[in-house]
Structure 1
Amino acid sequence: MTTDRFAQEWTEPLSPINRENVTPLWRVNAVKASTIKAVPIRWLWPGWLAKGKLHILAGAGGTGKTTLLIGLIATITTGGRWPDGSRCSEPGNALIWSSEDDPADTLIPRLTAAGADMSRVYIIQGLTNARGDADPFDPANDIVRLRETASEIGGVSLLMLDPIVSAVKGDMHKANDVRRALQGVVDFAEQNLCAVVGISHFAKGGAGSSPADRVIGSQAFSALARTVLVAAKQEDSDQRVLARAKSNIGADEGGISYTIEPCDIGDGIETTRVAWGAAIEGSAREILGDAEATNSEETTEKEDAEQFLVSMLSHGPIAVKQIRADAAGAGYAWRTIERAKKSLSVEAVKVGMKEGWVWQLGSEDRQDSSKTASQNRGGLRENVAAFKESAFVPFQPLVPSESHSCPSSGVGTSNENGHECEDQHEDPLPGGASLPSLDDDAEDL
């Protein structure tokens, strides 16, 4: 029967399938960790710029990010001094690509004012082929071609990309697009042992949030960068700050103040250059918060912190660790507490070896503070004002140095006189207390 015939065919064994061995085009390589030799981070500017790594420099408009970076390029090309006073280990070349600034009327004048060695600065101005055809340079497509250029000029210490978002071919707000696009930039940095610095902007409405999260576009920009530097400008002032918002390879706190000053380089050409100031302690959020706060906000915060300190210390010395914990619990940033401490001339005293540091009101003012507090328990602002009138000032304030004039032709950034330290007065503290040494826990001062 037909049914029996089909049943028989289905029960017959299938013929074997001959499979040929196909060599895969790619395979995953796994390397034993024991065969990889550990190496230190190779720093260009220790703690700030690393060779072979991607960095982001972000900030609001008007902070002078490009001028700031050109100042660092001048240090690299001349083997000069970094903003913190340390010396650049050896002169190197710099590559600049900018879609926003014209080389002739903006970049060259700024480089000249900064004292850069122009023979070591190369400005990317497009592509050419064997037939002489020219095309604009597109970092989203042409970054791989830079490797040959870097080799031809004898290596590159720093590559500036302004803006870094131009290296993204897709949507800069999508993490996958950003990661895919920036991988070529990361590879260029590693292959050429070059510090790549991409300039970016802050997104609107991010004040008060984590500075690294304020970088415009996807968070992949900050995630891929090994270091994120941020810049901010004080309202109604020329003072600006540069801070480390994030670092996967070093410290992520501390900053440096700076200003952008006008400069005449001759032939009627006026430009600007960076003038570096003092080092700043604190996290990037605290540093930017101080810089971006309005005068009224800053005054109110400091006055509130002064009230807090007077209230705590009016009954006697308190351990710094306890003050720090209580201040954090009350919502005060430690930098605000430190400013209030200076304003009130609160003393830092070392008590034995185990007890550590304590803060206390000045010896001549404890009774005044206690008396004022007992007379007016409900008005701490009045207490602070009365205390500050008689506050003991143990140190004379440092007088800021005058801003440097524009360097003449041929003068680089290696001037030894640009980073002199001010001598401090060493007046004795009340009650015979001695000043702490540098070996002590400085953050408790």
Structure 2
Amino acid sequence: MTEQRAGRRLVVTRGSDVTTKRVRWVVPDWIPAGALTLLAGREGLGKSTIAVELCARVTRGALDDGEWVGQRRNVLYLHTEDAREFTVAPRLRAAGADMERVLFVDVHTDLTENGTMILPADTLALDDLVAAERVSLIVLDAATSAMSSELSGKDDRQVRQFLEPLAQLAARRDCVVLGLCHFGKRDGNDTGKLILGSIAWSQVARSVLSVAKDDDSGNLIITNTKGNLAPRTRSMEAVIESATVPTEDGDAEVGLLRWLGESDRDARDLLAGDATPDTEERTAAEAWLEDYLTEHGQTPAKVVKAEARKQGFSDATVKRAAKSIGVAYDIAGFPRTSVWRLQSAQWDQGLPTHEPNEPTEPTGRDQRKHSEPTEPNYQSAHAHVNEPTVTPLAHEVRTPGRSVGQWLGSGKPVATVTQIGGPVDRARAKVLELLAGGAELTAREMRGGRISKETRTGLDAALRLLTAAGQISSREDGRKVVYRLAGGRSESA
């Protein structure tokens, strides 16, 4: 017979003896009862403020839904990064916590009276404390601070040595353990890999709530990016505001979380950043975005992104598409709002409808170095001295060293606006090539005709120029604008 080690023996439980239970939610889809949950985000976003707000509601019995509605419960807040007197307690008071139900703990030894808990060494003592004080929520702020210095947060096995006893404690005592973790600086939508250290942090936890900031609104988006037990992905939007709380030695200003409600955003889209998307998706997003801004003109960034999401494009994909096609960013309105527009859209705004009596001098800025002008400049620095005066008919974008007639290929007079260089010239030639033989195409279909990124930026201006010169015509087909060669034949480029 095989000898067992002292104090260790195997115990068998038959499946027929296992009592099955339903999943109970403290916060629906986010925080399961009797389990370990992680709250993760980049530094400085307000994870502690979110945890404090949850603690305050638990102590007041003020959760909106879930198993603990209407039940006042005790919480244990283990902190190391923020001072208890100056930060943690004032935040809890500002959030309306019942401070009688908030517990802090220090470890006393022969050498110190203000030591911190070290896990897993103090797990048994923590278990006894949870049972004695009837603690329902344990917050580890931050999770790594309570981890023994003998363990590495980068080693899978050692992270499990730290987290698994906590998960077992949560299940045994039917409480929630909420650990705060940091994301690294790199971009990506796999939040398990974003957490600093081992992937085991995400693997052991039953739920991971990820926090990201929406740069357009300044609000926070919190999403359950890992939810083994959750039936759905759920996002909430929130904002951190300043609040004044009285203290024994005067008023203190602290952060206070205010929930704005459920959101259709996903924190992973905001965290993805510049991670490389699928090429086909990126191309489709570029075409959609260019069409959208061509049709709607300058539009608040948050509106563009909302419309893009309806088309199935993530915020990160749309931002990359905007960068690829050369979208210009402006700040307008009050409160200040980011506005997107195609660079060519500026040429249609604020331009005079007639040419001045005398040509003006160049602006003094070397326009060859700038893709978008600051003011209309009616005489190119490269214009021919003997070029005849032209009469207004339509706006034109000039290219260096070419006369008006050469530019349009028709000799029809136009008003010169400013120089942008080659993209419009190349786009004009490409349009005539694509429409040769009587083809009828929309701008979107032309963009799919193997037009380079550089040429694509000049397509809208090229279509206007060719239409003004009478080389192409357009008609509305439902909600689309279709272009064809004037007279149904190709003209020289």
Could you say which TM-score interval applies, normalised by the shorter chain? 0.5 to 0.7
- The residue type paired with residue 37 of structure 2 is H
Aligned to 2:214: 234
Distance, in Å, in 1 between the alignment partners of 2:256 and 2:232 is 26
**1:158-180 deviation per Cα after TM superposition (whole angstroms, max 9, x unaligned):** 10001111343311101111111
What residue is the counterpart of 1:139 in the other structure?
118
Quote the Cα distance in structure 2 between the aligned partners of 1:100 and 1:176.
25
Change (3 A) 1:116 1:301: farther
Matching residue within 101, 104, 109 for 2:82: 101
CA distance in 1, matches of 2:71, 2:262: 23
The 5 A counterparts of 1:114-129 are 114-124=95-105, 126-128=106-108
Listed one character per residue, the Cα deviations across residues 284-330 of structure 1 (whole Å, up to 9, x for unaligned) are 423544899xxxxxxx997643457899xxxxxxxxxxxx9xx77xx
Q: Which runs of 5+ in 2 are unaligned?
A: 276-282, 295-307, 319-439, 448-455, 462-473, 480-493
2:29 is paired with a residue whose SS is coil
Counterpart selection for 1:68 from 50, 69, 72 = 50
For residues 76 and 96 of structure 1, what CA distance do their matches in structure 2 show?
Answer: 12
Q: TM-score, normalised by structure 2?
A: 0.55
Match of 2:450 in 1: none
Q: Are the aligned partners of 1:233 and 1:291 in contact in 2 as well (CA < 8 Å)? A: no
Tell me how far apart the structure 2 counterparts of residues 128 and 233 of structure 1 sit (CA, whole Å). 40
- Which protein has the larger Cα radius of gyration, Structure 1 or Structure 2? 2
Q: d(CA) in 2 for partners of 1:178 and 1:85?
A: 30
Q: What's the CA shift for 1:24? A: 6.1
Residue type of the alignment partner of 2:446: G
Contact residue 80 and residue 88 of structure 1 kept, 8 A: yes
Instruction: After superposition, give the CA deviation of every residue in 1:249-284 in whole Å (9 maximum; x if it has no partner).
Output: 113522111111001123321111101113123654
Equivalent residue for 1:77, pick from 59, 64, 87: 59
**Equivalent residues of 2:222, 2:266 under 8 A apart:** no
Question: 1:160 matched to which residue of 2?
Answer: 139
Over 3 Å counting, the alpha-carbon distance change for 1:106 and 1:21 in structure 2 is closer
Aligned to 2:27: 45
Of 201, 211, 224 in structure 1, the residue corresponding to residue 182 of structure 2 is 201
Counterpart of 2:16 (choices 34, 40, 51) is 34
| Cα 1:221/1:373, change in 2 over 3 Å | same
Describe the SS at the equivalent of 2:43: coil
Contact 1:211 1:284 in 2 (8 A): no
Deviations 1:204-248 (A, max 9, x none): 32x123122211111111111000111111337531111111011
Q: CA deviation at 1:378?
A: 3.2
Q: 2 CA distance for matches of 1:24 and 1:145?
A: 25
Summarize the Cα distance change of 1:86–1:39 in structure 2 as closer, same or farther, 3 Å threshold.
closer
Please state if 1:274 is matched with 2:257: yes
1:6 equivalent in structure 2: none
**Equivalent-residue separation in structure 2 for 1:38 and 1:90 (angstroms):** 25
Residue 258 of structure 1, aligned match among 232, 238, 247: 238
- Give the secondary structure class of the aligned counterpart of 1:94: strand
Taking only the aligned residue pairs, the percentage that are identical comes to 27
1:182 is the counterpart of 2:163 = yes
The amino acid that maps onto 2:136 is S
After superposition, residues 352-367 of structure 1 pair within 5 angstroms as none
SS at match of 2:38: strand
Residue aligning to 1:286: 269
AA aligned to 1:305 is W
Corresponding residue number in structure 2 for 1:247: 227
Distance in 2, matches of 1:307 and 1:118, equals 55
RMSD: 4.1
Work out which structure has the larger RCO, using CA pairs closer than 8 Å and 6 or more positions apart in sequence: 1
The code of the aligned residue for 2:147 comes to V
Shift in Å, 1:81: 3.6
Q: Which amino acid aligns with 1:378?
A: M
TM-fit CA distance, 1:138: 2.3
Structure 2 counterpart of 1:35, one-letter code = D
What CA distance in whole angstroms lies between the structure 1 residues aligned with 2:292 and 2:67? 37
Query: What amino acid maps onto 2:26 in structure 1?
Result: L
Q: Distance in 1 between matches of 2:68 and 2:273?
A: 29
Residue number in structure 2 paired with 1:149: 129
- The 3 A distance-change label for structure 1 pair 284 and 132 is closer
CA distance in structure 2 between the partners assigned to 1:236 and 1:280 by the alignment: 15
Does the C-alpha gap of structure 1 residues 134 and 254 become closer, same or farther in structure 2, counting only changes over 3 Å? Answer: same
The structure 1 residue matched to 2:446, chosen from 364, 374, 378, is 378
In the TM superposition, residue 333 of structure 1 has moved relative to its aligned partner by: 3.8
Q: Secondary structure at the match of 2:234?
A: strand
**Counterpart in the other structure of 1:367:** none
Q: TM-score, normalised by structure 1?
A: 0.60
Amino acid paired to 1:230: S
Query: Displacement of 1:28 after TM fit?
Result: 1.9
Contact 1:301 1:336 in 2 (8 A): no
- Post-superposition CA distance 1:324-376 (Å, at most 9, x none): 9xx77xxx449979xxxxxxxxxxxxxxxxxxxxxxxxxxxxxxxxxx96488
Q: Give 1:193's aligned amino acid.
A: D
Listed one character per residue, the Cα deviations across residues 87-126 of structure 1 (whole Å, up to 9, x for unaligned) are: 83422111001100111110111111111111111122x1
AA aligned to 1:168 is: M
How far apart are 1:189 and its partner, in Å? 1.1
Answer yes or no: is the 8 Å Cα contact 2:221–2:266 preserved in 1. no
Instruction: Please state whether the residue corresponding to 1:31 is helix, strand or coil.
Output: coil
| Whole-angstrom CA distance in 2 between matches of 1:40 and 1:50 | 11
Indicate conservation of the 8 Å contact 1:172/1:218, yes or no.
Answer: yes
